[in-house]
Structure 1
Amino acid sequence: MTDCVRTGAAFLGLVVLLSGCGSHPDQPRESTASPSTAQASPAQSDHPADPSEAGKGDSPGSMIPRYDDATSPEAKTGRDIQEQADLLNHLSTSVNNTLKLPHDIQLVGKQCDTANAYWDPGDNSVVLCYEEATEGLEIYTKAGDADPRASTVNGEIATFYHELGHMVISLYDLPITGREEDVADQLSAYILLTPGPDGKVDPANVQAVKDSAREFQGYAEAAGELDDNDLAGGHSPNKVRAFNMECWVYGSNPAANGDLVGDGHLPQSRAELCEDEWDKLSHAWSQLLGPHLK
């Protein structure tokens, strides 16, 4: 079995399960720690991750989910979205079943008082801020989605895998070229779009990436005209990130995703490059992640 297929098979079950569950102005997602005064509370889950299963062989660590307190209206809404989808438990289970973790990693739902998500290497934690989910819900509601909560959960899944990109680069000292934020976006798309052992990608996974692209587009529209600070930032502008996500979806299966070309989506000139772009992205990430998969 190739590394690419192994990765797809390892992550596929979680993403399909979550897809059935129910950035803001540039730059939307930070990747370094930011302080928070939220107080920790035990994770509320009927099926908590089992750290005992991870302490074996060359993978002594596990990802441990935790929901911190929420006090503001925005944070309470975001926490409710995460908890109703059992989001943190499912995400941590996926990682524990897939990656060889050298030590424990906390996956924290948190009130940050701003819409954000980040990998904190000093604290060994991935943080999904409640306000990020709340802003996503506002975007999908404004867009007229039939089930904006389901779209929001899709956006949260893509956000998590973006932060997972930062995490694996840090944990495994992976070599990368180019801006790390762009590389982390690639990992998010790679995990969601890589076929499972049957050679197929679940349509719900594809929709998660499409929803993430629409969220970036919503943030871009809210931000308005960009200045030099926006263009010189660590993240690509949100509209660029939206086009990248659409390009990788299209490139992974042009025949099935022709709806992403034209009419406000990918220009034909970019679409023509996407299949080769996806092939290179997929090959690179399969090589990078292969040695670290269970």
Structure 2
Amino acid sequence: MTARNTHARASAARAARAAATGLATLLLPLALTGCAGQPPTPEFAIRYEEPAPADAAEARFLRDRKLIEPVLADLNAYLALPHRVTVTARSCAGEGTGYDPAERLVELCYDDLTEDRELFDHAGSPHPDEDLAEVVRETIHHEAGHALADALDLALDDRAEEDAADRFAQLMLLRTGRPEGETTLLTAARAYDLAAEADPAPDPSDEHAPPATRAESHRCAVHGAAPARHPDLATPTRAHCATTWAETRSAWTRDLDPLLRR
């Protein structure tokens, strides 16, 4: 799975691409800043850019399904950001979905959706659209975790921040106890498994944990949070998962305390 392979890139390259595509950018109401001269609302906001021709189908899928908007609405209802973070859906020409702290920008790449869909198609998934939608939801939560680590100025190295971003996705998707969040994490875990099968020798320079490790982290969180709903996940190696989930929830809730809406 290619999504979330990069979380910070040179802001100069982004600025050049933004200047080249600015006239083609489509802004949704959530991303509008109001009257001229007013500062942007401190929240997660969405912006769509026109796709490259090869990405048109996935861009349409993303917009028609409205996959991003409810995730950001949930984040904004839970957290009061100190500044705006814009989630921009765009063609990235293989650069990879990621968060840029210099611009407070999450890039969600249309071309990543294409590659993730191919994983499910190749595996014979009967519902690739639904699988891809779940991966997108998990991806946005992961990148929001990077944005929040930045906003909170958490002292984390690259690998620790990647692990923390995965755990933030777990917090947001499991904190309410709704089974929909469990489905999202288990589908994302399946995508990581497929990525591991497709490329069994991950890049050792990648700051992320190996895909198989990330898959197991998500399954452990689901099992720890809702063992009765997932007896199939109960194995001796997951005996610690209830404790691990409780630690994840406590640690992120503590770190987020200055931003929590009361």
Shorter chain as normaliser: what TM range? 0.7 to 0.9
Q: For 1:116 and 1:90, how far apart are their aligned partners in 2?
A: 23
Asked if 2 retains the 8 angstrom alpha-carbon contact of 1:51 and 1:62, the reply is no
- Structure 1 residue 121 and structure 2 residue 101: aligned? yes
Asked if 2 retains the 8 angstrom alpha-carbon contact of 1:140 and 1:148, the reply is yes
Corresponding residue SS for 2:239? helix
Q: For 1:115 and 1:72, how far apart are their aligned partners in 2?
A: 17
Q: For residue 248 of structure 2, what is the amino acid of its counterpart?
A: L
Structure 2 gap ranges (5+):
35-39
- Structure 1 residue 233 and structure 2 residue 206: aligned? yes
Q: For 1:48 and 1:103, how far apart are their aligned partners in 2?
A: 14
Corresponding residue SS for 1:31? coil
Q: For 1:109 and 1:245, how far apart are their aligned partners in 2?
A: 25
Give the equivalent residue in structure 1 for 2:243. 276
Q: For 1:100 and 1:60, how far apart are their aligned partners in 2?
A: 10
Report the CA distance shift for 1:286/1:159 in structure 2 as closer, same or farther (over 3 A): same
Asked if 2 retains the 8 angstrom alpha-carbon contact of 1:68 and 1:110, the reply is yes
Q: For 2:155 and 2:27, how far apart are their aligned partners in 1?
A: 37
* Cα deviation code 1:124-168 (max 9, x no counterpart): 111111112122222222333332112111101101111111100
Q: For residue 241 of structure 1, what is the amino acid of its counterpart?
A: R
Q: For residue 207 of structure 1, what is the amino acid of its counterpart?
A: T
Asked if 2 retains the 8 angstrom alpha-carbon contact of 1:210 and 1:245, the reply is yes
Give the equivalent residue in structure 2 for 1:211. 187
**Equivalent of residue 253 in structure 1, options 219, 226, 244:** 226
Corresponding residue SS for 1:179? helix
* Cα deviation code 1:40-72 (max 9, x no counterpart): 434465x646756xxxxxx95133211112114
Greater RCO structure (CA 8 Å; 6+ sep): 1
**Equivalent of residue 104 in structure 1, options 58, 75, 84:** 84
Asked if 2 retains the 8 angstrom alpha-carbon contact of 1:44 and 1:83, the reply is no
Corresponding residue SS for 2:135? helix
Give the equivalent residue in structure 2 for 1:6. none
**Equivalent of residue 138 in structure 1, options 115, 118, 124:** 118
The residue correspondences of 1:184-203 to structure 2 (distance < 5 A) are: 184-195=165-176, 201-203=177-179
**Equivalent of residue 6 in structure 2, options 30, 37, 41:** 30
* Cα deviation code 1:156-182 (max 9, x no counterpart): 110111111110010121355861111
Asked if 1 retains the 8 angstrom alpha-carbon contact of 2:99 and 2:107, the reply is yes
Report the CA distance shift for 1:51/1:96 in structure 2 as closer, same or farther (over 3 A): farther
Give the equivalent residue in structure 2 for 1:289. 256
> TM-score normalized by structure 1?
0.76
Q: For residue 215 of structure 1, what is the amino acid of its counterpart?
A: A
**Equivalent of residue 162 in structure 1, options 120, 139, 142:** 142
Give the equivalent residue in structure 2 for 1:11. none
| Root mean square deviation, CA, Å | 2.4
- Structure 1 residue 82 and structure 2 residue 55: aligned? no
Q: For 1:28 and 1:126, how far apart are their aligned partners in 2?
A: 10
- Structure 1 residue 64 and structure 2 residue 40: aligned? no
Q: For 1:233 and 1:42, how far apart are their aligned partners in 2?
A: 31
Larger deviation, residues 162-171 vs 176-185: 176-185
**Equivalent of residue 179 in structure 1, options 134, 139, 160:** 160
> TM-score normalized by structure 2?
0.85
Q: For residue 276 of structure 1, what is the amino acid of its counterpart?
A: T
Asked if 2 retains the 8 angstrom alpha-carbon contact of 1:247 and 1:270, the reply is no
Report the CA distance shift for 1:170/1:32 in structure 2 as closer, same or farther (over 3 A): same
Higher helix share: 2
Structure 1 gap ranges (5+):
1-22, 53-58, 196-200, 262-267
Give the equivalent residue in structure 2 for 1:17. none
Report the CA distance shift for 1:28/1:122 in structure 2 as closer, same or farther (over 3 A): closer
Asked if 1 retains the 8 angstrom alpha-carbon contact of 2:4 and 2:98, the reply is no
Q: For 2:223 and 2:229, how far apart are their aligned partners in 1?
A: 8
Paired residues, what number?
248
What's the offset of the Cα at 1:122? Answer: 0.9
- Structure 1 residue 221 and structure 2 residue 197: aligned? yes
